Structure 1
Amino acid sequence: MTPPVRSLLHPSQWPRWIGSSLGTRIVVLFLGLLLLVQAASFLAIRASIDRNARASITDELQVGERVLTRVLDQNAQKLAEGASLLAADYGFRAAVGSNDADTIASVLANHGERIGATVTALLDTGFHLRAAAQPGLQELLPVTQRLAARALASKRASEIVVLGQRPFQLVMVPMRAPVVVGWVLMGFPIDQRLVDDMHALSSLQVSLQVRADAASTWSTAVSTLPLATREQLEKQAALSLAQVNGDNLAAGSAALTLRLLDNEYSGRTVMLAEHDGAAVSALLLRSVDDAVAPYRQLQLGLAALTLVGVLVFGIGSVLTARHVTTPLRRLATAAERLGAGDYSTPLRGLTRSDELGDVARAFERMRENIGEQQDEILKLAYWDPLTALPNRLQFRNAVRDAIVAAGKAGRTVSVIMLDLDRFKHVNDVLGYRFGDLLLRGVAERLTQQAVRGGDLVARLGGDEFAVLLAGLDPATDLALTGTVARRIQQAFDAALTLEDQTVDISASLGLANWPLHAGDADVLLSRAEVAMYIAKRRHDGPMVYDPALDAASSQTLSLLSELRHAVDHDELRLYLQPKLALGNARVVGAEALVRWQHPRRGLVPPMEFIPFAEQTGFIRVLTLWIFEQTAQMWKRLHDGGQTLTISVNLSTRDLLDPELPQKFDALLVRHSVPAEAFCLEITESAIMDDPQRAQATLDKLSALGFRLSIDDFGTGYSSLAYLKRLPVDELKIDKSFVLNMEKDLDDARIVRSTIDLAHGLGLTVVAEGVENAQVWELLRELACDEAQGFHMGRPMPAAEFARWSTGWSTRQAMTVTLGKGPDVAITLH
């Protein structure tokens, strides 16, 4: 099926080489349109030429027909005049009157020869042949009979007849003396001369066709056509002429078309005579090719003009295509450069004032904007926008490059990683904007006061910074790294003053060295970070990486899953440490603690998993486990006749859990334990991490009936305003002030002030860390309410605590004198 024209015009339907480029399509389009217009014009002109030529031929044939008729009429008139002269000749009439046959024949011959007649005869009044100049004219008798009727009517008559397959023109005139005494018949053949004259006059090809009778075929008597054409005419046209002439006897003429020797002819057949089947027809022909030939030059000129136009249009379209595609190629090249990451090469052709110039200028603006954005992206990718220091990615690349360079030069590389202490507290108290100012101040102090000129300082994120020391001497690298670390610490000795706010700031530092501690940049950074976190936990100055630190760190990788396993498989153990009233030495409560009986590691100390649980958030699960185990223990003690208050520690993550009160309340209901049976201990730092959320949680817990206690009071940074607003019932003095208060007057004063402050606020005071009788007695004298420590009892499993508490109660009746040395201590234990 042939596709529609619309689909063919679509570029997808074009040959592949045409659609390969815009320039080619423009050239093909321009030339195609030109050729299409020229072809349409050529066809229209050719059709018009053909139409006009055929119309002109028709006119020529019609004129030729009239000319032929006029010529035949003129010949008949000439012949009639010659016959009239002969009929009026006195000598001829005298010879006719004397019936001198020889004279009559001689006069007919001489006169006929004089006027060119080939037929001369004398007829009597009855139209019978009387004398003739030529023999064999008996066949004219039928013709003479036809002419007689017209001759009698018009005094003369003429007719074209066929004699011996030749056309003749006859004329008959009367001979008078003074009456009609006979008729002079004269005739001449219509021969080659006549058709040649016709051809000379009209440029028409003339052929006379004759037919002897109805049974005969048409044949050519004379013709101006070449012999070969005449022969083909007789073969091809006999049937057509017979049909045409047969159909148009009444009309007298008819048009026809013939093709002779590959030439087309327009023709017109004229019936000259037809009697009793015998007929004479004149065939006028005009070659269409010859008629159109003069116009062929016009067509050739148009074709030449078309070729010139194609050439001119081709050159013009190529120039136009280049004018269009050259800037487009530039745009494509520029786009490829942009794709390859080259944003610095400007685009040419910006001065053009056309649409392509607008596109080029828009593209150039896009290039500039993308370049600026790329520069900004690269800056954000490699630089810290807050401090203008290199970020973690750039620092990591710098460490990698420094290691490569050091390896070639036989040098070493060290990294110092530091993390600010209490930065979150500064953010919470003074706001994030001040925190940003503090980070900028730290960056400035590090770069200007702490490190050497060639060292690289970077901010890795948050409050974490790093220093790169490259190209170090292997003999002194660790010593030099330690020196720089101490200079960093010293730089933080002086407080920072920002917007009239003075802030004391410190940092935990971790040190690692290549190739001593790591084989590549990533491991070096990781081990410096491990050392930094150990330093942050120990608060013991800069920490140099040690493989033992990494072993402890690797243990924590599986710690979370092991903790989950411990909760699910009863590996955790509840321990209780008693709390005694200083006034009567009665057991009034206990602090709930957790221990982990690991199947492979044995008894895991709390410091090895409690901080990790706090970091990962698993402390919430541990808190709920301790609370539920404590509720069950309290229930057993209560059923055994002991009513105590058991303290449970809450972490920062516990206080930030808005659903904690509901969880505790559900456990209380499940085990039928009142909220008053618990005292929830919280540290000052836990409150200060998010005071608003912490207070909201404490308010809900207090509303449920829980007692609340501030643990490790005196070691945090809270203000009395917070202490006033919190719904607490108890203060627990940190053991660092209690342990040596009998020897340290300052510690004793702090304890006294804290007791007085708490009592002034209506709070119960608990002192932890009581390890001898002197401290017990001193606390009792200071009116401290309760005490907790190894002097009375160490943390013990819950079952053992039940037995210990029962035994202690049975001995309460004894008089306890705490100042009597070992006996009293043994009794208390």
Structure 2
Amino acid sequence: MSLRGKILGFFLLLLLAVMVLLLALVYRSTYSHTLQQVQAQLGSAHGVLANELQSRRQAQSALAELIAKDFTLLGEIADLVASPQQEAQSLSAALESFASRSQASFALVLAPEGQVLAGTSAELAPGAHLPWNDLLVLDEPDSAERLVVLDGRVLHVNLTPIFAPRPNLMGWLLMAFELDDAAAAHLAELSGADVALLDGAPGAYRVLASNLDGLSRAELATLQLPDTSGVFRFELQHLEQVALRAPLTETGGALQVLLMRSLSAELAHYQPLQWQLAAIFAIALLFAGLGALWIANTVSRPLAQMVESVRRIAGGDYQASVATRASGEVGLLAREFVAMQQGIAEREKTISFLAYRDPLTQLANRNRFVAELQLALAGCPAGEGVAVLLMDLDNFKDLNDTLGHEAGDQLLCLLARRLQELLRDGEQLARLGGDEFALLIPHCHPGSVIPAAEHYRSALQQPFAVRGISMTLNATLGIALHPDHGESAGSLLQHAEVAMYLGKAQRSPYALYRPELDRHSLVRLALMSELKGAVEQGQLSLYFQPKLDIRQRCLMGVECLVRWIHPVHGFVPPDEFIPLAEQTGNVCALTRWVVRTALAQSRAWQEQGLALKTAVNVSALDLADPGFAGFIAAQLAEHAVPPGSLVVEITESAVMADPEQALGQLQQLCELGVRLSIDDYGTGYSSMAQLKRLPVHELKIDKSFVLDLLSNPDDDIIVRSTVELGHNMGLKVVAEGVETDAVLQRLDQLGCDIAQGYLLSKPLAPVAFAEWLAKTHWGLPRRAVG
């Protein structure tokens, strides 16, 4: 949506929301006020109706008492007593006259006991008894009145005693006045509310009298109204009604009066006001829309001009002008945009330079070098090659740390200047980053790459002077040649880097790439990703190499060595996949698998009666794991192996990686009862101060000192001094690499405790080791079974 549309839409929606909210509030206030008024009016109407009914009943009672004292009536009653058959007709005619003049529905004369003597009612013939005998009070005759329902009609019944004279009771005069639809209409006119007289249960009412029309009365009879007195609302003829329900008599009963006012009709009085408000809102919405449209056009038109200018600038036309005659904030924005445009143009030049140039040495950077290399490869004729030389300074980090980065940068600039001076026609020089420089030599063949490397290494022959210090630099060059070592720029750079690292490892000034020496090959990457799966999929196997108690000439334990039999690559040497495990962080999972497998085998040997100690190797990452000691304790308990049967071997380098962390882990293992051994002692960088702090139980002399023990006096001195040192510190001493009886005898003479090497056996798989145990002439450590 455009900015103009958003501004217009925002204003219109905001105003519309305010209008709708105001209309809702007005309607809610009107509805609430009207409802309260109607409820108050119904209360007043009920009072008016009650007063009217009371007045009617008082007037009818007075009229009945007056008729009861009429001499004509008394005479007719006396004649009826004297001549019952003849005078009954005369009395009925008199009662008909009285009922007509008093507007009563009917009139009756009752005997003192309550049976009808004469009357004008079709329902109550002479000789019948009243259905309301509780009206008669024979002990103390007095007037009584009530509202009753007779044959679907609501009647006000007034019963008056007839005396001749008092206290002689001659009979009773009953006058019945009907509350019909006309009476209900009169009550409705007086009260200002619709009136309905009801009896019956909800859903099956009888509308006895009402001013409502026939349809409304029929629907009212079927409604499920609340069965209690009070004010409530309901719907009648699709109009909302507010009703007041009350009993029609003081004694309660099923006869009820329902007063109703139409809330919908009352609210209709406010409809003109609502239409007026809607018209006002519509006019306001129209003017607001026109105003919002004007504001939107005022803002969006200059911005549209600026957008067009921006599009031209985005296309590279930084000379495109931003023309706008707007003032205020929009004009200020246009001026600032022009300033930004100029700044972008200047920065574009800088970025273009930095994209292909090294800001420190002003040489080409990696991007430029790759582009030049791709061009050289594309234009290389058949039979010729392109060489890439990657130069990396040796120990440059030490120079940076010693002299500071500023001095290091100065040194790099001096080297770049010398290399540029050695450039020959067609050759390219670039700084790839850090202390790495790359050289591109086109039209090159294999016989000329080594002389080219020597040519550029000559830049390092003369010392460099930095801060008054003269220093000599060394560097290693990695060489990759197209097409023998790669077809693309990326592969040539990668292989030159591989060759460079190979040269550093061999301490050679330069190295030519060879595929078989590429430690970053796809096979190695595959092994790195598959190592975790090897642990989980059972591709690993645990081999055992026996260890001999030299004095007793008896086996005392084994060292557990892990082997990987890859389903595709076959046997993978440990010195290849264990460093991979350390690099990928999988060495902890590998160690835990070794511990579980070794303890399971130790338990099996114990059940066979063999008391062989099992030694496992752990890495620096294992010692850095806070839960390692807890894992060892849990595995010992799970396999029911005595802690003293497990030997944990740690290399000096693993201990020295974090001595404090290692000390804490080793202390926990020692407290468990696990035996600890320093592996490959003499090849690391540990000090006596560190060694004496470690709670270890034995030292293992590296095999490099044992293999030539008999022929090299220096090795003899190292082994003898290590044995003496270990014994003086209360440690057992283990010698690795024992391959002859003569070396074993010499170790015995020197006091060495344990021997390990090919003289006993090479590492064996579990089945082969079991066979070797069955055939060996060395003594076996036995323990009681059970």
Distance 1:604 1:470, change over 3 A: closer
Aligned to 1:775: 743
Distance 2:472 2:740 in 1: 37
Aligned to 1:471: 441
**1:521 pairs with 2:489:** yes
Distance 1:762 1:523, change over 3 A: same
Tell me the matched-pair count.
Answer: 471
Aligned to 1:579: 547
Letter in 1 for 2:556: V
Aligned to 2:339: 334
Aligned to 2:389: 415
Q: Deviations over 1:152-198 (max 9, x none)?
A: xxxxxxxxxxxxxxxxxxxxxxxxxxxxxxxxxxxxxxxxxxxxxxx
Aligned to 1:32: none
Letter in 2 for 1:738: V
Distance 1:723 1:505 in 2: 37
For the residue of structure 2 that corresponds to 1:21, the secondary structure is helix
Corresponding residue to 1:603 among 571, 581, 584: 571
For the residue of structure 1 that corresponds to 2:487, the secondary structure is coil
Alignment of 1:614-763 (within 5 A): 614-763=582-731
Aligned to 1:613: 581
Q: Deviations over 1:254-298 (max 9, x none)?
A: xxxxxxxxxxxxxxxxxxxxxxxxxxxxxxxxxxxxxxxxxxxxx
Q: CA deviation at 1:457?
A: 7.1
For the residue of structure 1 that corresponds to 2:692, the secondary structure is helix
Aligned residues with identical type, % of pairs = 35
Q: Does the Cα contact within 8 Å between 2:736 and 2:755 map onto a contact in 1?
A: yes
Q: Does the Cα contact within 8 Å between 1:731 and 1:766 map onto a contact in 2?
A: yes
Q: Does the Cα contact within 8 Å between 1:402 and 1:471 map onto a contact in 2?
A: no
Distance 1:477 1:775, change over 3 A: same
Distance 2:542 2:334 in 1: 80
Letter in 1 for 2:340: A
Distance 2:299 2:466 in 1: 75
Q: Does the Cα contact within 8 Å between 2:365 and 2:432 map onto a contact in 1?
A: no
Distance 1:409 1:615 in 2: 40
Q: CA deviation at 1:755?
A: 2.3
Aligned to 2:734: 766
Alignment of 1:75-86 (within 5 A): none
Aligned to 2:454: 483
Q: CA deviation at 1:420?
A: 6.5
Q: CA deviation at 1:439?
A: 7.7
Aligned to 1:109: none
Distance 1:610 1:642, change over 3 A: same
Distance 1:344 1:662, change over 3 A: same
Aligned to 1:12: 293
Distance 1:17 1:622, change over 3 A: closer
Q: CA deviation at 1:571?
A: 2.4
Distance 1:651 1:330, change over 3 A: same
Distance 1:551 1:662, change over 3 A: closer
Aligned to 1:78: none
Q: CA deviation at 1:7?
A: 2.5
For the residue of structure 1 that corresponds to 2:654, the secondary structure is helix
Distance 1:641 1:506, change over 3 A: farther
For the residue of structure 2 that corresponds to 1:771, the secondary structure is coil
Q: CA deviation at 1:673?
A: 1.3
Aligned to 2:201: none
Q: CA deviation at 1:486?
A: 7.3
Q: Does the Cα contact within 8 Å between 2:644 and 2:675 map onto a contact in 1?
A: yes
Distance 1:648 1:527 in 2: 38
Distance 1:566 1:610 in 2: 12
Q: Does the Cα contact within 8 Å between 2:629 and 2:665 map onto a contact in 1?
A: yes
Distance 1:713 1:416 in 2: 38
Q: Does the Cα contact within 8 Å between 1:396 and 1:522 map onto a contact in 2?
A: no
Distance 1:804 1:699, change over 3 A: same
Corresponding residue to 1:567 among 535, 553, 556: 535
Distance 2:513 2:727 in 1: 48
Aligned to 1:401: 372
Q: CA deviation at 1:613?
A: 1.6
Q: CA deviation at 1:467?
A: 2.4
Aligned to 1:795: 763
For the residue of structure 2 that corresponds to 1:478, the secondary structure is helix
Alignment of 1:297-336 (within 5 A): 329-336=334-341
Q: Deviations over 1:424-481 (max 9, x none)?
A: xx9xxxxxx98585888777767757983458575757xxx42211235514552046
Q: CA deviation at 1:609?
A: 1.9
Letter in 2 for 1:659: G
Alignment of 1:231-310 (within 5 A): none
Q: CA deviation at 1:688?
A: 2.8
Distance 2:553 2:455 in 1: 55
Letter in 1 for 2:302: S
Distance 2:354 2:441 in 1: 26
For the residue of structure 2 that corresponds to 1:646, the secondary structure is strand
For the residue of structure 1 that corresponds to 2:419, the secondary structure is coil
Letter in 2 for 1:469: L
Distance 2:538 2:324 in 1: 90
Q: Does the Cα contact within 8 Å between 1:610 and 1:619 map onto a contact in 2?
A: yes
Aligned to 2:205: none
Distance 2:442 2:581 in 1: 40
Q: Does the Cα contact within 8 Å between 2:723 and 2:752 map onto a contact in 1?
A: yes
Distance 1:489 1:772 in 2: 50
Letter in 2 for 1:333: V
Letter in 1 for 2:288: S
Letter in 1 for 2:293: S
Moved more, 612-621 or 444-453: 444-453
Aligned to 1:21: 302
Letter in 2 for 1:580: L
Distance 2:362 2:655 in 1: 35
**1:590 pairs with 2:558:** yes
Letter in 2 for 1:646: T
Q: Deviations over 1:656-698 (max 9, x none)?
A: 2222112222211111112221221122222233333333332
Q: Which runs of 5+ in 1 are unaligned?
A: 25-317, 346-370, 427-432, 814-829
Letter in 2 for 1:483: E
Distance 1:321 1:809, change over 3 A: closer
For the residue of structure 1 that corresponds to 2:648, the secondary structure is strand
Aligned to 1:531: 499
Q: Does the Cα contact within 8 Å between 2:700 and 2:735 map onto a contact in 1?
A: yes
Distance 1:783 1:489 in 2: 53
Q: Does the Cα contact within 8 Å between 2:555 and 2:779 map onto a contact in 1?
A: no
Moved more, 804-813 or 566-575: 804-813
Q: Which runs of 5+ in 2 are unaligned?
A: 1-281, 306-322, 782-786
Q: CA deviation at 1:518?
A: 2.5
**1:452 pairs with 2:419:** yes
Distance 1:710 1:510 in 2: 38
Distance 2:431 2:386 in 1: 19
Distance 1:506 1:681 in 2: 39
RMSD value over aligned CA atoms? Answer: 4.8
Corresponding residue to 2:523 among 555, 559, 568: 555
Distance 1:586 1:328, change over 3 A: closer
Alignment of 1:23-42 (within 5 A): none
